[in-house]
Amino acid sequence: MPNDLSDQEYGHEDYTDVPERHRRIGRPIHKNDDAMPTDVQCFWFNKRIRKWSHHRLPFHQSAGLQYPKIPGMRYASGSQWFAVTRGMASTVASSFSNASTLIGTIFRDLTAVKQPDESFFQAVVLNTQFCTSYSDFTLHWTDKDSMREVRSLTSEYSILSPGVLGNLKDFAKIEEVRQQSLWAFFARKFDDSPESSQLKDRLDAESSRQSRPKWIMASVPSVARVVEVLASSLAVVKSVKRLQRNHDGIFNLQTLQLQLEPGHEIQVREKLATPKLPHPLLALRVGCDWNKTELVFDGDVSAVSASSTGPHRCPSLWAVAHWRMSKKPISQEVVLVWIDPRGTPMQHAPISISEHSVLLWHRYTATQPLPQGQWSLEVRSNDHVIARRHFFAYGDPSDIPWRSVREYFDIVTY
């Protein structure tokens, strides 16, 4: 929890035994007070183990510059492995060197801290408009088999640290993680050794190879209606190609490349249904023929055929939920409810959520053909609706309303 390091909040019983001149360290002092001499005995409060300790400062340190010096400022510490919004990153980059700004003041205030990278960004978040919400989950993979206890020269306690990645076995592990653990965008740790550098080069080359756009032929019955609405065109669709999954991403939205007569090409992308407020359920998708290997829909998305047979068919209908991984163990039961256009619940499907849940899918197995019209898909927990989205079931693609097409799809290029 954030705090301002006041005596009352810490309430340490031994604080009164600290000499007066050391108690003033970390407190604003009069501008005319003399700086303390080089190599003095200073007392520090270790927030992790809640213990006062002392050591010699190996440099000339003025008490007025010691952490923290600003009354009323909120301070915190945490891991240096985190993600921030683009807005916060831009604000920090443009302000930290300007001492007249709040962020610049915090930056100067924390230059004397042992681990400033574990305090600066946390203090910025607490004292700016960016302190609105946070998510406690991990985006990086660590080889836990290589963990060992280490202690730095300035630390008073040991911590677990992973070994350096740098051999063929490590490459095989990372490739397995890339294929199976959709939450892992980063790995640690690497250094500048020849072995580790070679591994980084090989990973970069593999990532570049896999990230190249690859298109395959696809069958998506609703594309003619999508083109008619979004491109205001009655052109004949000559061919449909689907962009294959980027294995470095989680949200692989369906993107279609459409060849039209005479000689035009457009790209259409599925719109992602996301919550309006922060929530562990990041997105809900509905579509036909979920490919469990490639983790993509091979058929229609959002606007689906009501029939499993015929020229405009949806052989299997699926719901896909993108969930946020948690660092803490969780066990939650939710229910996925399929509701037809008349408001009748057609199927209830219980789903178990754990801390490793990232991508969940469920196949609709109730009555078919589907009643035509706008359906709802709800996620419920303890009889409360925590998420809801709509999709449209059509008999013929021309039945799809204009508003539904514009709600579910976007033109990428034209």
Q: Are 249 and 398 in the same domain?
A: yes
Distance CA 386, CA 362 (A): 17
pTM given for the model: 0.65
Name 59's Cβ contacts closer than 8 Å, sequence gap at least 6.
38
Total domains in the fold of the chain = 3
Distance CA 24, CA 141 (A): 42
Contact between 271 and 286 under an 8 Å Cβ cutoff? The reply is: no
Question: What pLDDT is attached to residue 138?
Answer: 66
User: What is the DSSP annotation of 245-291?
Assistant: P-TT-S----EEEEEETTTEEEEEEEPPB--SS--SEEEEEEEESEE
Q: Which of 270, 368, 280, 285 is nearest to 319 (CA)?
A: 285
Report how far apart the first and last C-alpha atoms of the chain are (Å, whole number): 51
**Tens digit of pLDDT per residue, the chain (414 long)?**
333 332 223 223 333 343 333 333 333 333 343 433 333 333 333 444 444 443 333 322 333 344 556 777 777 777 777 778 888 999 999 999 998 999 998 888 887 676 778 888 888 888 888 877 666 666 777 888 888 888 766 666 677 888 899 988 898 888 887 776 666 778 888 999 999 999 999 988 887 777 777 888 998 999 989 999 988 777 889 999 998 877 666 667 899 999 988 778 899 999 988 777 777 888 899 999 999 888 899 999 999 999 998 888 999 999 999 887 776 778 889 999 999 999 999 999 999 988 778 889 999 999 889 999 999 999 998 888 888 999 999 999 999 999 999 999 998 876
Domain-located, residue 329: yes
User: Of 127, 149, 184, which residue sits at a domain end?
Assistant: 127
The DSSP call for residue 34 is: P
Tell me how long the chain is: 414
Q: Are 239 and 165 in the same domain?
A: no
Question: What is the domain range of residue 148?
Answer: 140-211
Cis peptide bond prior to 262, omega within 30° of 0:
yes
Q: Are 188 and 52 in the same domain?
A: no
Q: Are 179 and 64 in the same domain?
A: no
Q: Are 180 and 102 in the same domain?
A: no
State the alpha helices, DSSP H only, in 181-235.
Answer: 194-211, 223-230
Domain-located, residue 151: yes
Q: Which of 270, 271, 281, 250 is nearest to 387 (CA)?
A: 281
What CATH number does residue 333 fall under? 2.60.40.1930
Q: Are 402 and 318 in the same domain?
A: yes
